A and B are shown apart, each in its own frame.
Chain A
Amino acid sequence: DIQMTQSPSFLSATVGDRVTINCKASQNINKYLNWYQQKLGEAPKRLIYNTNSLQTGIPSRFSGSGSGTDYTLTISSLQPEDVATYFCLQHNSGYTFGAGTKLELK
Chain B
Amino acid sequence: AVQLVESGGGLVQPKESLKISCAASGFTFSNAAMYWVRQAPGKGLEWVARIRTKPNNYATYYADSVKGRFTISRDDSKSMVYLQMDNLKTEDTAMYYCTSGGTTSDYWGQGVMVTVSS
Chain A residues with a Cβ under 8 A of chain B: 1, 36, 38, 43-46, 49-50, 53, 55-56, 87, 89, 94-100
Contacts and interface: CB of A to CB of B under 8 A. Distances in A.
Given A94-B61, A95-B47, A97-B45, A44 B103 contact: no
Given A49-B104, A50-B103, A94-B61, A43 B97 contact: yes
Given A43-B97, A43-B111, A94-B61, A55 B47 contact: no
A46 B46 CA distance: 15
Closest 5 CB pairs of A and B: A95-B47, A46-B106, A43-B108, A97-B45, A100-B44
Interface string B85-118: 0000000000001000101101011110000000
17 contacts: A43-B97, A43-B108, A43-B111, A44-B108, A46-B106, A49-B104, A55-B104, A87-B44, A87-B45, A89-B45, A94-B47, A95-B35, A95-B50, A97-B45, A97-B47, A99-B44, A100-B45
Contact of A44 (B50, B61, B97, B104): B97
Q: Most B CB atoms within 10 A — which of A45, A49, A95?
A: A95
Contact of A45 (B61, B104, B106, B111): B106
